[in-house]
Amino acid sequence: MFETIKKLFGMGPKVDLGEMIANGATIVDVRTSGEYASGHIKGSVNIPLQALGSQMAKLKKDKPVITCCASGMRSSSAKAMLKANGFNEVHNAGSWYNLKKFEK
């Protein structure tokens, strides 16, 4: 139970998103296409949250996935959807701005 509480409050082990990206993780931006067009992480895939259910087949279940959006709410929902559909390694980066520092 303590591990669950730690995860809820973000106190669990931190992942190195930069290392994951360098090693080929897929960045899935779940904002609308208009939001994505106004700025995004180079190399990211835009699958709006409302389309994620029908477009999951575009993603590989055996490859780490990092979700992002504007604030972290939609990417949190996307992470839960992906995990519920058999994606094992999914991480919510929150806002896409959080990933800008890893962009090449």
The answer to whether 89 and 67 have CB atoms below 8 angstroms apart is no
pTM for the model stands at: 0.86
Alpha helices by DSSP H, 28-86: 33-37, 49-55, 73-84
Cα–Cα distance between 89 and 84 in angstroms, integer?
11
Least confident of 5-9, 10-14, 49-53, 99-103: 5-9
Specify the higher pLDDT residue, 82 or 11: 82
> How do the domains of the chain map onto residue ranges?
25-102
CATH of 25-102, one of 3.40.640.10, 3.40.250.10, 3.40.50.300, 1.10.443.10: 3.40.250.10
Cα–Cα distance between 44 and 6 in angstroms, integer?
29
